[in-house]
Amino acid sequence: MNTQTIPVAIINPDAPPESLEAKQPPIDNGTERYGKEGYFSRDYMAREWQKMWTRTWLIAGVSADLQEVGDYFLFDISQESIIVTRTEEGVKAFYNVCAHRGSKLVFEERGNKKVFVCPFHSWSFHNNGELRRITDEETFHPEVIAQRPGLTPVACEEHAGIVFINMQDSPPPLLEMLGLPQGYLETYRIDEMKVVRHVRSEWGSNWKVGVEAFYESYHLHAVHPETRGVMGDLNVQYDLYPHGASRMIVPLGQPSPRAHDQTTVNEGLQIMLRDAGIDPEGFTGTAADVRQAIQKGKRERAKRLGLDYSRFTDGQLSDSWATGIFPNVQIGCHPEAAFLMRFLPHETDPERFYYDTMTLMFPVEDPNYCPPGWMGLPEGTDVSGSVRPQTEHYTIEEDANLGQVLSQDSTLMPIVQQGMRSRGFKGQLWGEQEQRLRHFHVELERRLAQD
C-alpha cells in the first residue's frame, strides 16, 4: 500500500511521542472493500448480538448517576435490560429480571432503591443482588429454592467517571480492552461532571451508519457548511489505538482550510471568543489568532476560578478530542464538558438505531462557562448540574431538538441507509480521512469471526 503522497495532519508537531496529544504511529488496516449486508441483514444483526454486543465492554452510563448507595439506572440494549446500581460494596450490575418466573423487575429508568420488589408475586432482592424475601416461602419445596436465587450478575466496572458492563461470564480486563492510553479519559475528570442533558432519539439507519458519520470530519463541508468559519475540518489529526479505539482532534476556533476568508473574525469565532471569556469587540487579531486566544483566555479564566488546567495541553482547551471507544461510543472531550454519544442497536430493525447523548458539565460558577455550541444544548438549559434532568425520548418522527449540526446528521442518515440498499452500490470506499471507519470495521469483523 502506497501512502507516501497522502497528507497527514498533525495538530502539535512538538508533542512528545508519549503524550496523549502525539500523532499515533499508523496502523495498516489494508484497503479492502467491505460488504454491505451488515447494514440491512437480520442475520448479521443476530450475529452482532451473539458475537459482539454480548461479548464486549459497553458503556452503560456515568458515575454521576450513581452518587449514593441505592442509586441505580437501567441500561437497555436490544432485548436486554440491565440494572446498574451503587451498593455498599461498589457499583454492580444485574439483568433486570426476577429469578422466580422471569418478570421484568424495575421500570423507572433511574432512581434510588435499596430493595427491588418484583411486580408479579412480590419476591424481593437486595440491591447487591441477594434474595431478600420469597413470598409464602413455606409453600415451596425446599429443593426448588435451595440456592436462594438472587439476581443474575453482569460484569460491571467504573473507570474515569464512566460505568461499563460486559455480559460475558469472565470478561477480559476492561482497561486493556479499552485500547486508550492510560490517563486519557481520566484527564477530563468526567467523574466530577454532572449530566445536564440526556436525549435518546430514534434514527433511521443502521447503528454503524451513525458511528461512521461521527468518526470523520470529511462530511462537514457538505453537511454542516456553517462550521466552515470555525472548524479546521481538513487539518484533523486521526489516531488509531488498539481494539478498535480511535480519536480525531478537530481544531476549533479557526476557519476551515476550505474557507476563502482566513482573516475575518466571523460571527462564529466571535461566539467562541465570548465563550472563552474574551470580549470580541476588543479583539484586535485576525481569524488566524482566535484559536490561540481561546487557549490563553481559558487558561486565564481557569486561574481566576481556581481550576487546575496544568494537565491540559493548549490544544485540549480549544479543540475537540472526539474519542471513539469500540463498538458504539464517541466522547467529545473538552475541559468544560463531555458529550457522550452512544449508538445503540434497535431491538428488531437493523435499519434503525437509538442515538443516545449525554451532555456532562464540569460544575463551575461562571456565566460564560458552557459546552461548545456543536453539542446543541438548547438555550436556557440549566448547566449548573444541580438537577439531573429526565432523559428525553424521541421517536423517529419527532424532532429531538439536538441543534442544527446534529439534526443535519439525523436527516442524512436515512438518505445514506436507503442509498446503500441500491443494487448499484457495491460497498464503501474509505479515504484516509475515514481511517477510523476502517479501523472500526476491522475490529468488528475480527469479533464476528470469533468462535
Instruction: Point out which residues bind ligand FES (CB under 6 A).
Output: 98, 100-101, 103, 118, 120-121, 123
Number of Cβ atoms within 10 Å of the Cβ of 124: 15
Residue 86 C-alpha cell reads as: 451503587
Q: Which one of Fe ion, ligand FES, none is in contact with 44 (Cβ closer than 5 to 8 A by kind)?
A: none
Q: Segment contacting Fe ion (CB under 5 A): 140-148, 377-385, 386-394, 407-415?
A: 407-415
- C-beta of 382: minimal distance to Fe ion in Å? 26
Residue 2 C-alpha cell reads as: 502506497
- C-beta of 119: minimal distance to ligand FES in Å? 7
Burial 180-196 (b: 16+ CB within 10 A, else e): bbeebbebbbbbebbbb
Q: Which of 76, 80, 409, 432 binds Fe ion (CB under 5 A)?
A: 409
Taking the C-alpha atoms of residue 233 and residue 255, their distance in angstroms, rounded to an integer, is 9
CA angle in degrees (0–180, nearest 5) for 106-358-71: 35
Q: Which one of Fe ion, ligand FES, none is in contact with 123 (Cβ closer than 5 to 8 A by kind)?
A: ligand FES
Smaller CB separation from Fe ion, 80 or 409: 409
- C-beta of 100: minimal distance to Fe ion in Å? 47
> Looking at beta carbons, which residue is closest to Fe ion?
409
Q: Which one of ligand FES, Fe ion, none is in contact with 100 (Cβ closer than 5 to 8 A by kind)?
A: ligand FES
Q: Which one of Fe ion, ligand FES, none is in contact with 409 (Cβ closer than 5 to 8 A by kind)?
A: Fe ion
Taking the C-alpha atoms of residue 409 and residue 46, their distance in angstroms, rounded to an integer, is 26
Q: Which one of ligand FES, Fe ion, none is in contact with 98 (Cβ closer than 5 to 8 A by kind)?
A: ligand FES
- C-beta of 58: minimal distance to Fe ion in Å? 23
- C-beta of 86: minimal distance to ligand FES in Å? 23
Number of Cβ atoms within 10 Å of the Cβ of 382: 12
- Asked whether the CA dihedral 279, 281, 282, 283 is positive or negative, the reply is positive
Smaller CB separation from ligand FES, 101 or 303: 101
CB 1 within 8 A of CB 30: yes
Smaller CB separation from ligand FES, 136 or 143: 136
DSSP string, 359-386: EEE-----TT----GGG-PPTT---S-S
Binding status of residue 392 toward Fe ion by CB under 5 A:
no
Burial 74-89 (b: 16+ CB within 10 A, else e): bbbbbebbbbbbbbee
Smaller CB separation from Fe ion, 21 or 216: 216
Residues lying near Fe ion in the complex (CB under 5 A): 409
